[in-house]
């Protein structure tokens, strides 16, 4: 029995021409919350299908990679060769009753194909057009390509990550791509809301470069207000102390103290309450100025304690703290299960939407589409008959399998 669409975006139709991560991540979020997402892939497929192992299948056919599967559920799949005019005509047909178009082609490609926003908006005035790009269309780097790790370096994120021994390092997750995807979702929702008043669509651009800068907090503010360049301080915080990872007898735990009351509670749990009255550590400014001495004292205390037990006692006392978990521990954690953060459907497994809504709940209605799996259904919905579909296949506009 099909899963019911209970999402807030039920009835919203999205034509998704994007590939790789930022765009597909954005459209999965929208699909999770009810939007009808039509994923249009090029003849060679979304390149992330090959970004493995692991792959879904290990037989001769080898199904898509876990990377692709993790960001492409709740979509219907269609494969078109947009270099052909007939394929672009299919997209135009799909846009006749679509609300949103999202793409991340190199800037100039959609213009060359006659599908720039300025052109489409004349024909579809209610269309919301979202473009994801590396650097935007203007500025000295306008129209240049960009990948997550490159942008982590260019936007200063890597300069604030690492230790003096390691040097600058990128984050272990594609934070720029995913932040770009989240901002694309925000932009689309803003435009959908505004359209209820104006009746008009609009153009949205989200650049990886801009998104990278947007999450440079607090280092961007530290520079703008104090011209402070971040130092490589590992797991520590540039503005707070103690806020760091500490090794215990069993496993590392992270202690995050955000105010004086939390510091006093933490010192009591650690069996050293007098630290809270030490003039060096009486407030955050003092703890920051004397962080080396404080870190040495705390490291000595933690080294004598059990990690999980201590983290639990700190949490129960109202102090943010937690163990350093591996991915397998996170996926199997009772808290993860209680929050229903892993979804399963027809053999598919994925990370659920973190947005919990009381009435319009997210749902997993469709597993990630195999290449072109919904081509005929989507085209017949758009008014094509069998003969027309066969002609498009013969012309090479529709692609049935990856070459």
- What is the C-alpha separation between 375 and 24, in angstroms, rounded? 18
Please enumerate in sequence order all residues whose Cβ is within 8 A of that of 385, keeping only pairs 6 or more positions apart, or say none. Answer: none
Please enumerate in sequence order all residues whose Cβ is within 8 A of that of 186, keeping only pairs 6 or more positions apart, or say none. Answer: none
- What is the C-alpha separation between 204 and 201, in angstroms, rounded? 10
* Annotated catalytic residue 177: yes
DSSP string, 27-73: HHHHHHTT-EEEEEE-TT--GGGGS-SSBS--STT---BHHHHTT--
Relative to beta strand 253-256, strand 243-246 is antiparallel
- What is the C-alpha separation between 231 and 219, in angstroms, rounded? 10
φ and ψ at residue 352, rounded to 5 degrees: -75, 165
The kind and range of the H/E element at 77 are strand 75-79
Relative to beta strand 100-103, strand 13-16 is parallel
Which of 16, 177, 210, 244 is the catalytic position? 177
What residues are annotated to the active site? 177
């Amino acid at each position: 029995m099909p899963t019911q669409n209970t999402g807030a975006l039920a009835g919203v139709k999205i034509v998704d021409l994007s590939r790789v991560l930022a765009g597909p991540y954005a459209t999965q979020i929208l699909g999770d919350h009810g939007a009808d997402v039509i994923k249009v892939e090029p003849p060679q497929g979304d390149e992330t299908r090959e970004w493995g192992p692991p792959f879904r299948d290990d037989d001769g056919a080898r199904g898509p990679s876990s990377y692709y599967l993790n960001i492409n559920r709740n979509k219907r799949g269609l494969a078109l060769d947009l270099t052909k005019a007939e394929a672009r005509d299919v997209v135009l047909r799909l846009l006749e009753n679509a609300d949103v178009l999202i793409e991340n082609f190199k800037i100039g490609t959609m213009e060359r194909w006659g599908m720039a926003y300025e052109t489409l908006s004349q024909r579809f005035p209610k269309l919301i057009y979202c473009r994801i790009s590396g650097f935007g269309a203007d500025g000295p780097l306008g129209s240049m390509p960009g990948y997550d790790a490159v942008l982590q370096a260019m936007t200063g994120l890597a300069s604030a990550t690492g230790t003096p021994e390691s040097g600058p390092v990128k984050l272990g997750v594609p934070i720029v791509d995913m932040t770009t995807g989240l901002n694309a979702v925000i932009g689309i929702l803003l435009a959908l809301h505004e359209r209820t008043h104006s009746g008009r669509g609009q153009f949205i651009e989200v650049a990886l470069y801009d998104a990278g800068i947007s999450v440079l907090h607090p280092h961007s503010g530290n520079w703008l207000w104090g011209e402070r360049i971040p130092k490589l301080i590992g797991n520590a915080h540039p503005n707070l102390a103690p806020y760091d990872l500490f090794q215990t007898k069993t496993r590392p735990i992270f202690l995050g103290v955000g105010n004086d009351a939390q510091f006093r509670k933490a010192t009591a749990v650690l069996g050293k309450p007098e630290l809270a009255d030490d003039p060096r550590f009486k407030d955050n400014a003092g703890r920051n100025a004397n962080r080396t001495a404080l870190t040495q004292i705390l490291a000595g205390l933690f080294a004598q304690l059990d990690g999980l037990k201590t983290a639990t006692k700190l949490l129960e006392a109202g102090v943010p703290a937690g163990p350093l978990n591996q991915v397998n521990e996170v996926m199997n954690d009772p808290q993860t299960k209680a929050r229903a953060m892993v979804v399963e459907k027809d053999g598919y497994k994925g990370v659920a939407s973190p947005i919990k809504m009381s009435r319009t709940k997210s749902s997993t209605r469709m597993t990630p589409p195999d290449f072109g799996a919904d081509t005929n259904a989507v085209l017949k919905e758009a008014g094509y008959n069998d003969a027309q579909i066969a002609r498009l296949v013969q012309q090479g506009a529709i692609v049935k399998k990856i070459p």
